[in-house]
Amino acid sequence: MANLQKKSFWQQYGNLILILSGILIGALIGVVAPNFGTTIKPIGDIFLNLLFTIVVPLVFVSIASAVGSMANMKRLGKILGGTIGTFIFTGAIAGVCVLVWVNLFSPSAGTTIELVSPTCCPSSSSPSSSASASPPAAASRAPWAGCWPT
C-alpha cells in the first residue's frame, strides 16, 4: 500500500500563493507607481522571453518522446485525430468570435485610410536605355520599376 503523507498547507498551496501574490504586487505597482513599473519592464520582458525559450522545446520534447514510446499506432491515431479536431474546433470558435466582435464594435469606426500612389521618383524620369542602369526584366513589372537610379 502506498505511503500517503499529509502535506502542509504551504507545500500544497505554496506555488498558488506565490503566483497570486506576484499578480497582486504587480497590480499595486501599476496603480501606485506606474513609472517604476515601466522602469522594471525590461526585467519582465527578459523573464518572459526566457520562459518561452524553455517552454517551446520542453513541450516539443515531451510530445516527441510520448509519441516515440507509443506501441499502439491506433491509439496514436486517435490522439492525433483528437488533437487536430481540437485545433480546428478552437480555431473555428476564434474565427467566429472575431467576426462577431468586429461587426459589433467596428474597430475601424471613425478612421479614414487615404490611398495614394507611390512617388519614389519624378514621373517624367524613366530608366535610361543603357543596359547597366536598367532594372532586370522581372523587376520591370513591379510598381517601383521606374525608380531605379540612372
Interior/surface letters 70-104, b for 16+ CB within 10 angstroms, e for the rest = eeeeeeeeeeeeeeeeeeeeeeeeeeeeeeeeeee
**Is the pTM here over 0.75, yes or no?**
no
For the residues 98-121, what does the mean pLDDT come to?
A: 83
Whether the per-residue pLDDT at 130 is higher than 50: the answer is no
Going by pLDDT thresholds of 50, 70 and 90, the confidence category of residue 99 is very high
Q: What pLDDT digit, counting tens, does each position of 24-43 carry?
A: 998 999 899 989 988 988 99
Q: What pLDDT digit, counting tens, does each position of 42-83 carry?
A: 998 999 999 999 998 999 999 889 888 888 888 888 888 999
